[in-house]
Every structure is written in C-alpha cells, then in structure tokens.
Amino acid sequence: MQRSLLARIMEFVVLAAVLAFFGFVGMFLVAVTGGQSFYVALTAVVIVATIVFIAVCMFAVSVRKQVLYRSFFGFLVLCGLTVAGYEGYQWYENSIPVVSEQDVDLSEYQPFREPTKAKKLEEPASLTLQGDLPRLDGATALYPLYAAFAQAVYPKKEYNPYDSEVMSSTTPKAYERLIDGEADIIFAAGPSQQQLEEAKQKGVELKLTPIGREAFVFFVNAANPVKGLTTQQIRDIYAGKITDWSEVGGAPGKIRAFQRPKNSGSQTMLEKVMGNVELMPAPEEDIEAGMGGIIRKTADYKNYKQAIGYSFLYFATEMVQNGDIRLLEVDGVKPDKSTIRDGTYPLAAEFYAVTAGSANPNVSRFIDWILSPQGQSLVERTGYTPIGGR
C-alpha cells in the first residue's frame, strides 16, 4: 500500500512537471509571437486546473470519477465561452474607427506621380534645381505640402516617400535625421524640449523658419453631444482633473483622453497647450509582447464614444477624412482656415522649415523660394494658411 502511494506520487510529479513545462513553453511562444496577454493568462489557468484535476483523480478516492469528469468538462466549456466572449469583444474593438498616421498612403501625394494629390503651380517656378538637391523630411501631415514644393522646383523623377530626397519619416525621426546630418531641411512643428537638448548635446543649432500656420484641433466621436471645450477644460482633462463628460456638459461617461507618442509634433503641441500644468500619463491601450519583455506604447486615437483625441486640422480633415469624428470648438471658436487667418482660433500655431547648418548651397535658396509668393501660394492651395495670412 505504501509503495503504491509512493508510485502514484512519483507519477503525479512527472505528469505535473511535463504539463508545467509544456504550459510554460506555450505561454512563452504566445508572448514572443505578439499574442494577447489574455491567452497567456488563460494558458496558465488551464494548466493549473488540469494539474489540480489530475491530483484529485489520483488521490481523492472518495470523490466520484463521473462528478470529476463533468466538472472538468464544465470548466473547459467555460473556458471556451470566455474565449468566445473575448474574441467577440476584440472584434467589436477592431470595428471602431481609428485615426492613425499608418492609415495614410503618402504615395498619393508623391511628386510627379500621375495622378498625384500634390498641388501644382499654374506657372513655372521661379526657382529650378537640378543638382545638390536638399534632402527633405518631415511630419506626415506636412508631406503633401513639401511634396508640392519639390514637384515645383526639383527635377522630374521618382521620389519614394520613404526613401529618397523627398521622404517622410514622421516628426520624431525627422528631427533625429536632421540632427544627425541625414536631412538638410525638415518640415514640422517646433521641436520638443528633448529634441532641443539632443541637438545641443551634439553641437547642432536648429534654425526654425516659419512657412505657414495651422490649427491644433481636438475631436470626439460624432455621437458625443459636447460641441466645444475651453482651453482650461482641455488642460484639466489632460491633467486628469476632469474625468467625466458630464463635468463639461456631456452625457455621463468616463473620458478616454488619448495621447500621441512623445516628441511627435502633436504631442509637443499638447505639452505647449498644457503650459505649466502637468500632463497625466497616457492610457496604455496596446501591449506589444517581445523578447525584451512587455513593452507599453501609446495607442493611436480610437474613436470610442467617450474618447477625445487631437491632431492638426489638415491631417484630421483632408488626409484621414473620418466622418465619425467631430472637431471641437475651443473657447467658442471653430477651427477652420478663416479663424486661423484672423487669429481668433486660440490654438493656431506656426509650422517650420527647420535646418541645422547644412553645407548644401541650395538650402537657403529653396527656403527663400518657399517664402516667396509662389511658395506661399502652394501653402494656400494645399490647405494651410500662408505665413503672412494672419
């Protein structure tokens, strides 16, 4: 009898060790292949429950086997229903419209492409460059504009938006490339404090030349009854002081205040709007699994009924064209070209051609042309407000 119990214990230990090993391998593979944390946790629960089931079957002689099997089967059915519910919710989440830079096809604005959305001059440009082409980079939202500049001045050839003299690698990467001498001019909102410090550490002086004006806008789900916010209310929302829409005249519901990645143009603009008010941590909607562990990242704006997000006017209304969002008035003023021009919209700001001491002789000539009537007409035609248009 004693030997039989010892044999069962040894058998159980071996079975439990094997199950635990394969469970760990399964969880590891799910994690490193980008699987959801839900399935990592579910795998752990199933393995533990299976080990407990085996233990009860082997050692609890007073428990009827039929009851055990039915209980374990019921547990597996519950797991299946949980998975179905989770996948259903994931489907619902994925069906919610997203405002993302990744959804924009920049090739539609590529210079000299036919057809291209990049605007054209009605007459030949007063400046023509054939050699020593300044290497351009910048914000996604400004690519249609500097693609139009290049189309007017640069020689006709293919300019891949992701690898050429006229490319867009997003604001953070563009500043990095400019500081490292890989770009001659970038087109972006003003730099963040971190970007200024990085330039200083590398002995680089950033020169910002204003070339146009744009509105920094906030938007909500089109079904949200809130039509506008004050600047102070925006600060309070992003500081975490206002947490429910009922506090600003909306229907009750927790505010989901999305943010953008640090050093992006829109995030830097939000930080300027906040002034000395501390910005609350961003909601971490996405979890990306990898060999280095769990990496948290800021989500793209997702159009939940209770969400609020922000961008720039041209990007939100022309490049994305999401009819399920509505722009908010700020301090009672609607964001549009007329309120940018007359200065009544409070969150209008300049955007820049930024340089860092390039030796390319055509950099200054190109920027002078951008500030000329022809260059500023392309700013207007593209959908921005010219620098003198205030």
Reported as a single tens digit per residue, the pLDDT across 104-161 is 788 999 999 999 999 999 999 999 999 899 999 999 889 999 999 999 999 999 999 9
Please report the pLDDT score of residue 312 as a whole number. 87
Mean pLDDT throughout 286-307? 47
pLDDT at 292 over 50: no
Please report the pLDDT score of residue 87 as a whole number. 75
Please report the pLDDT score of residue 45 as a whole number. 86
Mean pLDDT throughout 252-268? 84
- The most confident of 6-20, 142-156, 300-314, by mean pLDDT: 142-156
Across the chain, how many H-helices and E-strands are there?
12, 14
Cis peptide before 115 (omega within 30 of 0): yes
Please report the pLDDT score of residue 1 as a whole number. 47
Reported as a single tens digit per residue, the pLDDT across 371-388 is 999 999 999 999 999 986
Residue 191 structure tokens: 């730099």
Q: What's the mean per-residue pLDDT of the chain?
A: 84
Residue 351 structure tokens: 């955007």
H-helix segments, the chain: 2-32, 37-59, 65-95, 143-153, 171-179, 193-201, 231-239, 265-274, 313-314, 337-341, 362-370, 373-382
Reported as a single tens digit per residue, the pLDDT across 36-76 is 677 778 888 888 888 888 888 777 767 677 777 788 888 88
How many percent of the chain have pLDDT more than 90?
46
Please report the pLDDT score of residue 6 as a whole number. 77
Please report the pLDDT score of residue 127 as a whole number. 95
Residue 184 structure tokens: 């001659």
Please report the pLDDT score of residue 33 as a whole number. 59
Per-residue confidence band for 322, with pLDDT thresholds at 50, 70 and 90:
low
Interatomic CA distance for residues 110 and 389, integer angstroms? 26
Mean pLDDT throughout 180-206? 94
pLDDT at 238 over 50: yes
Per-residue confidence band for 188, with pLDDT thresholds at 50, 70 and 90:
very high
Interatomic CA distance for residues 252 and 356, integer angstroms? 49
pLDDT at 195 over 70: yes
Please report the pLDDT score of residue 38 as a whole number. 75
Beta bridge partners of 348: 215
Per-residue confidence band for 228, with pLDDT thresholds at 50, 70 and 90:
very high
Q: Do residues 140 and 168 make contact, with C-beta atoms less than 8 angstroms apart?
A: yes
pLDDT-wise least confident of 140-144, 180-184, 279-283, 292-296: 292-296
